[in-house]
Each structure stands twice: as structure tokens, then as C-alpha cells.
């Protein structure tokens, strides 16, 4: 009875909860709220956004947050292989949208953030990191990008004369690089982005736990 209950719990988390979390991230990642009316705006990802998403997805596989050998096998039923493939498809879609959420929309801010993410993901792709260290690395990476866009850049784009805006204006007053040319959105956009990143992180942790459990089960069955 306990074994059946545990099995049902795993099925729920893997085939219902996990894709649901990634689908919510996919929906929220492109959401912005207008500064004037708080109307919903949905922005599609850029081509460079897709390039970064492929790199981040590769880092997730490389860091063994997903273990393909425990998700796909010729010994598995076709339905299970297809369902697992769909789950990873929702993961990729969520990855695209979480980066869409973090990348500034245009200007020098976009270039700086894009270069930072590209360099960090490229170096992580060849680093020897275990899954837990990879999770911490991704948390630091996404957290820094969030603070840069929704705290630093948002304070520059705001109408109030904050000390951060005055400092940036004094630094760039003689050089027009487009750092201050940032689209203005409602402050609620930052809260939506914060929830989006938290859900994405929770999904990665859940994905790692499920993948590790599946791998341990396969190893146990092979040994026995």
C-alpha cells in the first residue's frame, strides 16, 4: 500500500506538477504590465534569446539536472518516452521565457546583460560541476540578471530622481550609449518576474530530485 502510494506521488509530481510549473513560467515569462494603464503586454522572445536558451538547456543537461538515461530508454513504453519528451519540451519553453523575462528589451542594457549571460553559460558548459553546484551557479546567474534589470535599470527608467539615476546620468552624460533608453513598465512587472524566476528554480529542483530518484531506481534494478 505504501509502495503504491509512493508511486502515485511520484507520478503526480513528475507528470502533473512539473509540467504545470513550467507551463506557468512559460506564460508569465513574456508578460509585462503597461506603466500607464497596467494593461497586459506579451513580448515574444528574440532570436538571441533562443540562442541563450539552447545554451542554458545544454548546461542543465551537462550538469545532470536531467539524466537522459533515466528518462528515455528502449525498454520503456512508447507512451512514457513520449510523455517524458513533452516534459522536457515544457522545460525548454520555460527556459526561453525565463530568459525573455530577464533580458532588457533594447539598448546597451540588452547588450550588457546578453553578453554577461552568454559568457557565463558558455563557461559553465565546460565546467566540471555536480548538479547541486550547478543549481547554485544558475541561481546566482539568474538572480544577478534579475537585480540588474528590475532593481538597477528600473530605478533608472523611473520618473523619480533617485540617487542611482543621478549617478548613471553623471557617468553617461557625455556618452550616449542608450543605457537610459529603457522601456517603462509598471512596478508590478518586477513582482511577476520575481515569481516567474522562483517557479523556474523550484521546477529545476523538482526536476533534479525526480531525475535522481529515477537514476537511483534504474541503478538498483540493474544491480539486483
Locate the domains of the chain by residue range.
2-214
Tell whether the model's pLDDT for residue 126 goes beyond 60.
Answer: yes
Tell whether the model's pLDDT for residue 216 goes beyond 60.
Answer: no
pLDDT per residue over 61-116, tens digit each?
888 888 887 788 888 888 888 988 899 999 999 999 999 999 988 877 888 889 99
Please state the φ and ψ torsions of residue 94, each to the nearest 5 degrees.
Answer: -65, -35
**pLDDT confidence tier of residue 179, bands split at 50, 70 and 90:** low
The pTM (predicted TM-score) of the whole model is 0.84
Tell whether the model's pLDDT for residue 222 goes beyond 50.
Answer: no
- Among 87, 96, 15, smallest CA distance to 55 is for 96
Tell whether the model's pLDDT for residue 215 goes beyond 60.
Answer: no
Amino acid at each position: 500500500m505504501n509502495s503504491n502510494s509512493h508511486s502515485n506521488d511520484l507520478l503526480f509530481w513528475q507528470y502533473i506538477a512539473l509540467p504545470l510549473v513550467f507551463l506557468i513560467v512559460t506564460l508569465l515569462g513574456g508578460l509585462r504590465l503597461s506603466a500607464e494603464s497596467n494593461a497586459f503586454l506579451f513580448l515574444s522572445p528574440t532570436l538571441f534569446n533562443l540562442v541563450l536558451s539552447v545554451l542554458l538547456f545544454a548546461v542543465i543537461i551537462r550538469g545532470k539536472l536531467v539524466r537522459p538515461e533515466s528518462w528515455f530508454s528502449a525498454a520503456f513504453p512508447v507512451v512514457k518516452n513520449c510523455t517524458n519528451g513533452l516534459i522536457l519540451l515544457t522545460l525548454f519553453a520555460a527556459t526561453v521565457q525565463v530568459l525573455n523575462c530577464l533580458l532588457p528589451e533594447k539598448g546597451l542594457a540588452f547588450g550588457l546583460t546578453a553578453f554577461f549571460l552568454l559568457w557565463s553559460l558558455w563557461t559553465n558548459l565546460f565546467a566540471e560541476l555536480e548538479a547541486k553546484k550547478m543549481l547554485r551557479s544558475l541561481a546566482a546567474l539568474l538572480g544577478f540578471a534579475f537585480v540588474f534589470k528590475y532593481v538597477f535599470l528600473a530605478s533608472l527608467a523611473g520618473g523619480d530622481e533617485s540617487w542611482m539615476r543621478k549617478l548613471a546620468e553623471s557617468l553617461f552624460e557625455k556618452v550616449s550609449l542608450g543605457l537610459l533608453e529603457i522601456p517603462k513598465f509598471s512596478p508590478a512587472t518586477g513582482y511577476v518576474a520575481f515569481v516567474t524566476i522562483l517557479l523556474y528554480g523550484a521546477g529545476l529542483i523538482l526536476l533534479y530530485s525526480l531525475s535522481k530518484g529515477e537514476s537511483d531506481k534504474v541503478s538498483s534494478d540493474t544491480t539486483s
